[in-house]
Amino acid sequence: LAAVFITLLLKRTIGSVGGPHAPRALFPYPLALTSLVNLTSGVLCLAPGRFFQRGTAKLRDITRAEFMQVLLIGLIQGTEIGLSNTALKYLSVATKTMAASMNVLFVMCSARFWGLEILCLRRLLV
């Protein structure tokens, strides 16, 4: 239920392209909105993380290679979320939801292509 509410709120915030009856967007910049939300989330998670870390064993310092890996994964994930929010500007909520639900099939086919999974009829039907 929360995911539906967030999707509808995002649609209302970034608006739609075209059409004389399209509602006026509150903030029609989906990539900027995603960046602001991710930055705010990171900052809000930093304070509790520092608070709950007190009194525990010190963790080892992260290496430069590990930092770069985490940074790259974060950039890729942020871009994916931003582009998904941008798609919401051009697609109806129903169309975006149907396209997103195809992700499971895409992952299964990709895993089969890379030899990670055996794709049989039973898995396709479930």
Which pLDDT belongs to residue 69?
A: 95
Summarize pLDDT for 102-118 with one digit per residue, the tens.
888 888 889 889 999 88
User: Residue 56: left (phi > 0), alpha (psi -120 to 50), or beta?
Assistant: beta
Q: Is the pLDDT of residue 126 over 80?
A: no
Query: How many percent of the chain have pLDDT more than 90?
Result: 15
CA 39, chain centre distance (Å): 14
Global model pTM greater than 0.85:
no
Summarize pLDDT for 17-37 with one digit per residue, the tens.
766 666 678 888 888 998 898
Per the structure block, which two tokens stand in for 105? 């099939």
Which pLDDT belongs to residue 44?
A: 92
Summarize pLDDT for 39-51 with one digit per residue, the tens.
899 889 888 888 8
**Beta carbons of 107 and 49 less than 8 angstroms apart:** no
The distance in angstroms from the start CA to the end CA of the chain is 24
